[in-house]
Every structure is written in structure tokens, then in C-alpha cells.
Amino acid sequence: MKVTFLITLALASFAPAQNAKIEELYHKNCAGCHGANFEGGVGGSLVDGVWNHGSSDEEIYRSIAKGNIPLGMIPWEDTFKPDQIRAFVIFLREQEKKNLSKGQNLPSPSLDQQTKTELENYRLEMVVENGLKDPWAIAFLPDGGRLVTEKSGKLRIISAAGKLDPKAIEGTPQTIEHGQGGLMEVALHPDYAKNGWVYLGLSDGTRAKNDQGKDEVRCITAVVRGKIKNHRWVNQEWIFRADPKFQSGAGVHFGTRFVFDKGYIYFVIGERGGMYEVQDLSRPNGKIHRLHDDGRVPRDNPFVKTKDAMPSIWSYGHRNPQGLAMDARDGALYSTEHGPRGGDELNLILPAHNYGWPVVTLGMHYNGMPMDYNGPDGQKVMSVTQKAGMTPPVTSWVPSIAVCGLDFYTGDKFPKWKNDLLVGALAQKEIRRVRIENKSVVSQETIFKDVGRVRDVAMGPDGFIYVVLNGPDRIMRLVPAQD
């Protein structure tokens, strides 16, 4: 780190309030040497990407905690708690990213112009420009058409010619649009051409007037399947529908996404703001579940014989996964999971593994306070960054990019991207191309930036890459472009 956190010894006696936000702690303790805008002064810049004493999160943490007395940087481990030092690392990463991105020339494509990336060049084509409201997911029909969900509860059809049917499918299950929830995922059964099954992930529950005349909502993510005949939803069957006692009035973290494999369906239920509830195996939220594709519980699920555990649970300790995809090369299952402020994750999903939330996290509260939670005994507990028995992510993004749709590219239109993972991001409005070898991330690249919030990214049967965008609401696709 460039003259790592050079703080004068005169500041050593300052004891910061333990409930102070990280921005306040920086300006009271660090700005005098490193500048109010992190530009440097007596101490070096903290946002130029130069870290003379180690650039990893762990090395920056150690520099803050242990200091460097010969260079005038005092150790802060007796002043700040470990979770506060971790919050400093997140905060500095956010500022560094913001500063460095000013000079970056990331690929921000426009219609019909060639966009160059490290390995492939592409053009951006419009699929549906108008008529959609809050589209969430896309699925591809055998005839070349597509199904698209809208958060409000509508299931829409796009023809093979690219025309959006103005009329939604009739008779779809009641959806409770509430906060981040609504009609979310759509996917076809792998044998759709033979059986016609369409699967939906939605917010299921009730909406009623309370004694004060206000809407009172209770809901949780559910999975249902049905068939589409004569523009109607028919033959409906619930695949997973939680007991109403697990429904919540919270408007956050519904999760959802599907993967089919060998007769099984894997799906996500977010933690619904329940925090420590995700560590409770008797509850469905904060879990990735595995069932037979008709809703039956597989006998080899990891918690089938665990007392009081939900038998559908495959893994637990998840916050808000909104991406789920399987690597065709080895059958490895991956999810992308929203962290709090800082610490979005890519996880390799393994049966019975605990992914830690909220006991373990790389992030902090959105208000800049270190992460804490109410433990099982109701006492306030501080999160840690690692703990025995809890599985760390394959990689993480600090600052958060707000990960969303996820798909492996297995087509032939972009051969140099073969088997790479495409990661959509809402807040950063981008698609990351992530290369995985031997279940480890070896490189990543931003290939798409600032066209809209990327809600879903999926490879179509034609080998093109389809992108579902919010703000503006539309669907576009990436097609190859030659030099």
C-alpha cells in the first residue's frame, strides 16, 4: 500500500464510537493524512490501485490492523474491532472502484455497432424494445419462440419472428407482487417437446386488508408447473409450496432460479430477510432445494433422515441467490448470491454444505455499519469472514455488483467463450465473463456495460446470448461480429 494508511501518532489516542458508520470513522481518523477524497497527502492515495504492501483484501486488512510504524502508520487493531476493519476494506474497495472506473474503457455496446472484447467481438440486436414491464426471466420454445415473465404476474410470448404478443397467457397462478417478489423464473422441462411442462417460480401467499384498512401481505417463493394450450395455463401442479406459517411480510430476498439435471430440479428460495433463519433446517428460506421434477423428494437428499429438517434441502446458509447454472463439463452446480454491501458471491453448490449467512459474510450493512445479526438466543452477534464448517465462495465481488442471471455458454457462435460462465449484474449494469478451470475462477472480464440493469442472461438454442434488461425494460441479444 502506498505509504500504507499513514496516520500520525497523534491520532492514536482517538477512540472512535463503536456504532459509528464507516464513512464517519474514515473522515475522523484517516482523512487528515489520506485526504477527504482519498487522494492522498502525507499518506498515499487510497484509490489509485497501487498498494505497496499487498493488494488483496487480507493484506489490506493486515496493513490497517498491524500498521507500519517505520512509515508512520500506527496499528489500529486495538482501536477498531475486526468487523470495523473489514468494513474499512469494503469501503476502500468501493472508493477505489469508483475512481478507477473513471478512466476505464469498458465495452458499452450500441445497436448494430461492433463491440470488441478480449476474445470475441459482437453486435447488439434488439429483440423486444417496447411492451414489457419488469421482465424477469426468459425461456426458449422449440418453435423459436420465447416465454418471458413479468414481475407483476404476467407470462408473455415472443414469436419466432420476434413479435411480442400483446395478450398475456391466461389463467396463470395468482402471484403476489410485493417488494422484490412477483412472477420470477420460467423454464421448460428438458423433455418439453414431449410433455409440454412449463415451470414457474413465483411469490405465493395472500394479500388482505388489516384492521386499519391497509394491505397486509404474507408470501414466500414457490414452484409450480403447468402447460400452455390455446393461450391458457392448464394442468397446473405445485412442485413446492411452503406451509403458510413460513410466509413473511418482508419485501426482500425471494431468490429463485431453476436448474434441471437427470430428472431433478434444483431451485432457490431466498432468506426473505430472515437472517439467522437460514441456519434452521426446519425452514425453507435461505436454501437451495432439490426435488424430482414432479415434486417428489429424492431419497438420497442429504437431510432426508435429519429430524425436523425439510427433506427438500440440498444446501443452506444462503442470503439471496439470483443465479443458478450447471457446468456441462462436470455437472458442477454454481450460484451467484447477493451479499449485503460488499461481498457478492459465486458459490460452488455441494450437498449438505452450509454457505454461512449471516454468520459468515464479506460484506457490511448498507448504512456502513459492520454486519451483525440476532443469534439463536436473541443476542446480537457480529459476523465473521470465515468459520470452520462453513463453505467460502469460489470468488466474490467487492464492491457488490448485484449479481443476477447466470448461464454457461456452450454454443458455437462465440467459440472463444466456450464453457465460460456469463454473470449478469443489476447495480453495475454489466455482464461478466468468468472462466472456470478445475472449479476455480482463473479470469474474468466485463463484456457488456451500461445498457440497462441485467436481470437475466441466457444462451439461446441459436447460440446467441439473450439479455433481459430492466430500466429500460427490453430484451436484446449478442450476435457475432467479424473484424
Residues 335, 318 contacting (CB under 8 angstroms): yes
Nearest to 257 by CA among 420, 155, 463, 404: 404
DSSP H or E run through 195:
helix 192-195
- Among this protein's residues, is 178 annotated catalytic? no
Q: Compute CA distances 280 → 104, 371, 377, whole Å.
A: 44, 20, 13
- The set of cell numbers assigned to 430 is 454489466
Query: Beta strands of 251-390 (E only): which ranges?
Result: 258-261, 264-269, 287-292, 313-316, 320-326, 333-338, 344-349, 372-374, 380-382
- Residue tagged 430492466 (cell numbers): 470
CB of 370 closer than 8 Å to CB of 81:
yes
Residue 165 neighbours by CB under 8 Å, 6+ apart: 156, 157, 158, 159
Amino acid residing at 482: Q
What do you get for the CA distance between the two ends of the chain, in Å? 41
The CA radius of gyration of the chain, in Å to the nearest whole number, is: 24
Coil/strand/helix, residue 65:
helix
Q: Considering Cα of 254, then 247, then 377, then 279, what sign does the dihedral take?
A: negative
Report helix, strand or coil for 34.
helix
Interacting residues of 437 by C-beta distance below 8 A, sequence separation 6+: none
Q: Which of 34, 189, 253, 318 is catalytic?
A: 253
148 and 137 in contact (C-beta within 8 Å)? yes
User: Which three cell numbers mark 8?
Assistant: 500520525
What is the C-alpha separation between 201 and 175, in angstroms, rounded? 10
Residues composing the chain? 483
Rounded CA-CA distance 19/24 in Å is 10
On whether the CB atoms of residues 466 and 145 are closer than 8 A, the answer is no
Helix (H) or strand (E) holding 29: helix 22-29
Q: How many CB atoms lie within 10 A of CB 456?
A: 28
- How many C-alpha atoms does 156 have within 13 Å on its Cβ side? 27
Neighbours of 12 (CB within 10 A): 15
Name the DSSP letter for residue 25.
Answer: H
Say how far apart CA 149 and CA 188 lie, in whole Å.
13
Please give the grid coordinates belonging to residue 356. Answer: 454461512
Could you give the residue numbers annotated as active site? 253
